[in-house]
Structure 1
């Protein structure tokens, strides 16, 4: 029968009664004096898995039902939920006899499967005309969608989502809206440009960035001083800035004077001058976000022998100490104020205030005290 022969043909070749052949293949329930017998060769469940039951799975269900297997046992063998098997047998069994025939069940399931409907804009000329008229007035699809809901609150056939309008404009073969109407959109694109997924982002800098995931483990546990986090705080109208550096183990703060701007070369030189003045034990690594001001990070590393590690996009918690310190600094540099009047001497005074302030996270030691203690231990 595995070669495609029917039960009668196979039994004729073997030389047994067709009823005996069915008993060999399907097993036998206990009746009277006859004991129950399992099938001669158990049916192996098909190795098919998907959202819908396959034809092979339906054949397995029919065979196992004929052997007297329970719904839960069949479900376990197929790796399906018992409710899936129960619902399949209830829906697709023969309406008269109640017998479950796999090929007929497959045909019933295929007949019930949803088919693609025609587009809403193609089915309703009035809706299509209203959308086209508003597009000619250079309304956006979202404005059109919201206006249709307000103008026709009791007519669902006159309501459409903005995505449906975009699909009708851009998807080939739909033909629900004239293609030239794309010129009325603000972008003016004739082809829709998909959003780039995170795994398809282009490198931000010319020199390869080193991810924060490659930063040494000693920086994560804050046991060794010399690992810094950096950022910029921006002043009024994006026209002034101050660089901030925070040492992870001690929360020691350094402020970088940036009166000439925040282009990559200016930030590189200012950071290098600040880091070069530190002892060698405090120059282990620098962690920064992916801001354009660090485009020349490789040149900074060459000048200071200090590697730069970059945080993941939109992950400020990876520089938590620096973010917290920036919040403390806003007491002295409020948002919306001009930061250019602050001199290097004034920045040093503000940093000294923070470094001499007891911190709960340090057991009420000051950053300056903790730094001196760690440096003494290291020496």
Structure 2
């Protein structure tokens, strides 16, 4: 469909989930940002991460609200597509994001906390503290390479159905948990039309059985 002339998809009634009329171009001048101290590149991730067969590896990013004044964190597990949305009532400084992530992952099963891949945003400057508190290995995607966190980008698009761009992002965890529960209860074709919640439950049950 991307090979069609501009405007032709709309004529044929084809619409992207994002609402755009054409794909956003990836080619642009890359402006280097401030380097995060001690960051580990996505190139250093274990091979098991790429295959998506071993659960416990996550991708994350921020969902930014109106005028950049509000935000929430978004985490998605690569194997099950299980999603967690993190309230940021204290803003999106590195301390606030790190503390919110630590609180959130404490609710998740320890066996499924192996690594997290994030972009090179300054909100993850305190990634070392996150690793110390949670034992999650933190890896960083290359600059301007959202496809390296493709599952996270796809999930962010689904979250935007509930929190469109240009709206205020709530900092009430109850609201964000309701959105995450809705996404985790949605059957996915990539999961054989099971829901992320069902797949995560199966993975947890299999892990418990294997350790008995």
Per the TM superposition, whether the score is higher than 0.5 is yes
Query: Which of the residues 327, 333, 337 maps onto 2:157?
Result: 327
TM score, norm. by length of structure 1:
0.46
User: Which stretches in structure 2 are left out of the alignment for 5+ residues?
Assistant: 1-29
Task: Please give the alpha-carbon distance, in whole angstroms, between the structure 1 residues aligned to 2:111 and 2:138.
Answer: 16
Offset at residue 218 of structure 1 (A): 1.3
- Within the candidate set 135, 144, 149, 1:314 is matched to 144
- Secondary structure of the 2:52 match is coil
Aligned length: 179
The structure number with the bigger radius of gyration is 1
2:80 is aligned with 1:250: yes
Query: Which one has a larger percent helix, Structure 1 or Structure 2?
Result: 1
Following the alignment from structure 2 to structure 1, what is the Cα–Cα distance between the partners of residues 144 and 105?
A: 26
In the alignment, structure 1 segments of 5+ residues that lack a partner are 1-196
Cross-structure match for 1:153: none
CA distance in 1, matches of 2:121, 2:188: 29
Q: Which residue of 1 aligns with 2:188?
A: 359
What is the alpha-carbon distance in structure 1 between the residues aligned to residue 164 and residue 144 of structure 2? 23
Cα offsets for 1:290-330 (capped at 9, x unmatched): 00000010111111111100001111001000000000111
Q: Distance in 2 between matches of 1:282 and 1:213?
A: 21
Tell me what 1:204 maps to: 35
CA-based RMSD: 1.6
User: Within 5 Å, which residues of 2 pair with 1:1-379?
Assistant: 204-206=35-37, 208-340=38-170, 342-379=171-208
SS at match of 2:63: strand
TM-score of the pair, normalised by structure 2: 0.81
- The CA deviation at 1:259 is 1.7
